[in-house]
Amino acid sequence: MPDDSPADASGNDQKGVAAATTEVEVRGRCEPDSWADAADRYESLGPTAQSVVRETARAMNFERSEYDERVTASVVETARQTLFAEALAVRVADSETFEAWHEAFAGDVRVAGSDAVERVAWHVSPAAGAAVAATFQNEPEAAVGTARRMAFNRLYRDRLVGGASSRRDGGTGSDGSEADE
C-alpha cells in the first residue's frame, strides 16, 4: 500500500486525483490498491483490536467475570473495523476541486450531504473502483469521519467481514445504507 503520492506530469496523482491550484489535504494513510492489500491490513489489526479492548476493559476496572461476559468476539471485531476505517485516507478540498476530480474518475462515487456547501471529504478505493464523499461547510473532522464510515460500510465491509449478516449496526442494505452515519 503506497502512501499518498505526488502528482505526475499529466496532473494526476497515482490514485486519479486531478492536480488543482486548490490544495487537497489528505488525512490518513490507508488506501489499499487491491483486495489482497485490504484483507492483509484488516487481518493485521486483529491483535491490535484485542489489545485495545483488553486495555480499555482494564481501565474500566472490569472484574474477570465481567470481562468474560461482556468482551465478546463481536466487541473485538467492532474494534478492528473501527481501527481499519479510522486509518483510511480521506481527501479534503473545496467543492470545485472535488467536482474536477469526480468528472475525471471512472468509478462509482456516492455523495452524502448538501450540494450547497463549499467543501468535500472523500475516500477513493482503488480495490473497489469506487469512492464515497461527504460534503461539509465548517466541520472537516465530522465529514472525514462520515467519509470513513461510508467507505468501510459501502466499499470494504462485505469483502472484509463477510456480508450483511455480520453487521453490528442492524442496517439492512448490502451497500451500507442506514449504517453510514
Task: For residue range 79-127, list pLDDT tens digits in order.
Answer: 999 999 999 999 999 999 999 999 999 999 999 999 999 999 999 999 9
Q: Are 90 and 4 in contact (CB under 8 A)?
A: no
Give the closest residue to 120 by CA, choosing from 32, 5, 27, 10: 27
Domain limits, the chain: 1-34+89-181, 36-83
Give the closest residue to 86 by CA, choosing from 156, 174, 163: 156
Task: For residue range 60-80, list pLDDT tens digits in order.
Answer: 999 999 999 999 999 999 999
Taking the whole predicted model, whether its pTM rises above 0.85 is answered as no
